[in-house]
Amino acid sequence: MKLLKIFCLGLCISLSACQHSAIKSQTVATKPVQEASSDIDYTAFKKNKANHKPVVALVLGSGGARGYAHIGVIEVLEQKGIKPDFIVGTSAGSIVGSIYASGKSAQELRDIALKMQVHDVRDFNIKMQGFLDGKKVENYVNKHVGNLPLEELKIPLYVVATELKHGEKVVFNKGNTGQAVRASISIPSMFIPANINGNQYVDGGLVSPVPVNIARELGADIVIAVDILAQPIHTETTNLWGMFNQNINIMQSKLAEEELKNADIVIQPDLREKAHIFDVKGRELTMQAGIDAASEKMEQIEKLFENQPNIKSKFYSAQQ
């Protein structure tokens, strides 16, 4: 599975040249997702700015099974009383982000992750465009968010996907949450593209593996980004599949590097080996990597907050 994913991504990575395409939002009815007639509402956080409250965004990047590290990061932030004004998620980050945005605690996220079974999310449907359908992922997410559409989640969520025909970066922010996540995680040639209102969508990691710029464009004053991409320096390159893997890692790292320059805090868990998505022991180790990485950044985060008294009073009240 891992080797096939690497190969499929290698075939489709050319879409990454569209990384600077204009952002589109999707207005979504509960079923199915419907396209918007206008762009994202960039005034959504105007009230915060009017009250001189800095807007804090949590950006959760793509990375397959490394996505469990996002849960560890959220655990540390939650312990410090830090909760974002909104979340931007790509691929694996959109799965964790959606369930967290529905109101689940970090402990609930951990419990859900450890209980997940193969049959919960994997459904074979062999077609010319792929062999995994993605419908079970959609249903799994909707189950855990209580079937809430994106606009009704307790924390606003923006889900990044790639429009297949033109390779454009698209942001879903209304409607069927599970369907938006399904689009964001649909690895080309592995997952059948998600069909939404007549258009096909695939993995958001192709165009924005760690979508910091979207958070900025939406009005974030403070951006905490979690980068779970494989680091090229740790990739095995002595065999054919390792070389495929390295090609993808280098290209995605370069994409992410430019966006990460615009983040205030970058958390990069030490994930040198990619655990299998259904390996329970691997899940726990990956979550711990997220905890360790976030803990190492807490002094930097606290200093940042000290320079923003409104953030401190808003997020640290529970500790005073």
Q: Where in the sequence numbering do the catalytic residues fall?
A: 91, 203
Name the helix (H) or strand (E) containing 248: helix 240-260
Q: Which amino acid is at 302?
A: E
Indicate the SS3 state at residue 22: coil
* DSSP H helical ranges for 80-117: 92-101, 106-115
> Which residues have a Cβ under 8 Å from the Cβ of 86 and sit 6 or more positions away?
44, 45, 55, 57, 58, 155, 156, 157, 158, 215, 218, 220
Distances (CA, A) of 243 to 134, 281, 291: 28, 27, 30
Establish whether the linkage from the previous residue to 209 is cis, with ω within 30° of 0: no
d(CA 248, CA 78): 33
